[in-house]
Structure 1
């Protein structure tokens, strides 16, 4: 978050997704954004994971639409990034996947990546409150 008064995670996500959509020409649907303050460490993990997920979409998926939801509730922080791209079969692997998992593991959370050939990819992350 920039110096002075920090932006909320919701504002940072909205700005980042708008810039990315304009740069790539990919439609972004924002399903949900956190309605309350997210601790800085968790906000950094979400933004870093989103960066990597969007980079994977750009490099590999050939998606037309990316949908994003980030929520914070009693059960903790949840993040979903889903695309309608080419998908994949088999286990998700690579440096980017490892980095995304590490961001959420540092929060005590988990991250999964599921692909369906011809049906897109979904990244789902969760961390306790």
Structure 2
């Protein structure tokens, strides 16, 4: 994702989620979206991470519903993508997981992927602002 459209991060997320849900038939629940705009590098990291997470849901989870929460405050960024799919046991591996972790590492943040076999998977990313910046 080199460029960024002129919309807000929330608008960009809603558009990405709407297109994905329409294409896959998987229901998307939006629990929270950021109220303000984000710096371009933060927006790129969030949108790219969401794209990877949704690709994993589509390829591996057999989910019926995916729930999304993205919040941005003076303290930092939090992102959660949770599905009701097949889940997994053991550590999360693969190119998609590494890519998502790299996107959050670029923001000096962390990202974890946790699965519960038969219950689904949750991707959680967090990045704190330090000195007002990521």
- Output the TM-score relative to the length of structure 2: 0.92
Give the secondary structure class of the aligned counterpart of 1:69. Answer: strand
Compute the displacement of 1:74 (Å): 2.7
What residue in structure 2 maps to residue 112 of structure 1?
Answer: 112
Summarize deviations over 1:12-68 as a string: whole Å, max 9, x none. Answer: 000010010000000000000000111100000000000000000000000000000
Give the secondary structure class of the aligned counterpart of 1:51. Answer: helix
Give the secondary structure class of the aligned counterpart of 1:15. Answer: helix
Q: CA RMSD in A?
A: 0.6
Residue 80 of structure 2 is aligned to residue 74 of structure 1: no
What is the CA–CA distance in structure 2 between the aligned matches of 1:41 and 1:128, rounded to whole Å?
14
Summarize deviations over 1:58-111 as a string: whole Å, max 9, x none. Answer: 000000000000001132000000000000000001111000000000100000
What is the CA–CA distance in structure 1 between the aligned matches of 2:95 and 2:53, rounded to whole Å?
12
Please give the residue correspondences for 1:45-64 in structure 2 after superposition, counting only pairs within 5 Å.
Answer: 45-64=45-64
Runs of 4+ in 1 over 6 A off after TM superposition: none
Please give the residue correspondences for 1:82-97 in structure 2 after superposition, counting only pairs within 5 Å.
Answer: 82-97=82-97
Give the secondary structure class of the aligned counterpart of 2:36. Answer: coil
The number of residues matched between the two structures is 126
Q: Which runs of 5+ in 2 are unaligned?
A: 130-134
Compute the displacement of 1:128 (Å): 1.4
- Output the TM-score relative to the length of structure 1: 0.96
